[in-house]
Amino acid sequence: MFKKTMTIEELAAKELQLARDLMAAEAQIEEALTAAGEALLDDDFPGADPVADVARVHAKVNAQRAALLACAKRRQGAIAAKRAAEAVSLREQAAGKRAEAERLRSRSTRLLADLSSLQGIVYGEFTSVFRQSNVTVQVPLPKSAKLQTEADDLERRADALERDALPVDGGVNLENVSSVDDLVSAVLCREGIVPSAMEILEWHTACEKRAGRPFRDAARTYRLAWRSGKIHDNSHVFVASFVDPNDNAYGLPSATFRAADDRRAEARFA
């Protein structure tokens, strides 16, 4: 089956859209169940079968959940492909620097041989640091040696991209944003094992419940951290316009909301 090629950013946006669609569909299940119950109770369901309507909505929800999982899997695949491509690019750069270093060494060898023959002494490249009697003499590093060092560093970076697993811990800090969409995008575009769009939206909804009102388009600051790919308890959102002027601690506690009202979270966070 043909699969559309999408960037990490495009897949992040798609996952956010699918998560919102799933939340709306899940709300429709309750509505469909209520409507079916009323219709069966009254034995009044002309035209459509209320039970079939419930089954249809359930099927839609299951399909959207499957789409979310597929989207997350593709996003991880896109991240892996990006890292692999970066490793290839780094190795190509390293090969170019090594080739240039070898060209310089070859030319230098011929020139030094001619100079040695002319002067009657042996000439060569010195790349060491000499120390004697508290006096340090730094001999300039030849360009060929610098290129070799740079090539080795590029190879090490490529090795790390190919060898190291994706990080499972991380965090995102966003200031002065007015939508949770910004947070979801920032997290999902990270190269790592991160919370899903659905998990972030559910966490955000829980924070709004703690606030007792929706944030709507209020400016806010997010601090979202995760451990082993799961949102940490100390993650919170600060909404400046919600500050209580009577709060003794400069209004911060009254405008800082976590999904769980656990004051010990700060002590556990490390």
Nearest to 228 by CA among 199, 260, 258: 199
Q: Residue 242 carries which DSSP code?
A: G
pLDDT at res. 25: 87
Nearby residues of 179 by Cβ (< 8 Å), 6 or more positions away: 217
Q: What does pLDDT average to in each consecutive run of 10 residues of the chain (270 residues)?
A: 78 95 86 79 67 83 92 93 95 96 90 84 62 58 88 96 93 96 96 95 95 94 96 94 71 79 41
**Token reading at 109:** 């060898």
Q: Please count the helices (runs of H) and the strands (runs of E) in the chain.
A: 7, 7
pLDDT at res. 268: 37
Nearby residues of 10 by Cβ (< 8 Å), 6 or more positions away: none
pLDDT at res. 1: 53
pLDDT at res. 254: 76
- What residue segments make up the domains of the chain, in order of their start? 1-164, 170-268
CA distance linking residue 229 with residue 124, whole number of Å:
55
